[in-house]
């Protein structure tokens, strides 16, 4: 069965063949989605795509990802805003 994370990775330019980790932050109030995402990213290896499931676009996260050298793309799926975050080869 195809998951929300699978659909998100297919909908954006994220590498589909890489392992992925899903972080659902829809039920967390600010600034928890931002802080939990930034805390998890360094724990993942560079091949893993992090898929953040949120209830809104993580506008404050984008500049922090840019600063850390991550690539990302966001798509609206069902009742969620899904952002795939990864490192380029």
- The number of CA neighbours under 13 Å toward the Cβ of 12 is 23
Matching residue, tokens 């939990």: 36
User: Residue 41: how many CB atoms within 10 A of its CB?
Assistant: 20
What is this structure's pTM? 0.94
Question: What is the per-residue pLDDT for 78?
Answer: 87
For the stretch 31-62, pLDDT in tens is: 999 999 999 999 999 999 999 999 999 999 99
Average pLDDT of every residue of the chain: 95
């Amino acid at each position: 069965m195809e998951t929300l994370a699978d659909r998100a990775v297919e909908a954006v330019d994220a590498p589909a063949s890489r392992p992925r980790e899903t972080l659902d932050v829809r039920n967390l109030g600010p600034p928890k989605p931002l802080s939990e995402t930034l805390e998890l990213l360094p724990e993942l290896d560079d091949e893993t795509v992090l898929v953040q499931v949120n209830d809104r676009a993580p506008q404050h996260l984008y500049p922090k990802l840019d600063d850390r050298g991550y690539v990302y793309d966001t798509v609206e799926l069902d009742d969620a805003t899904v952002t795939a975050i990864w490192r380029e080869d």
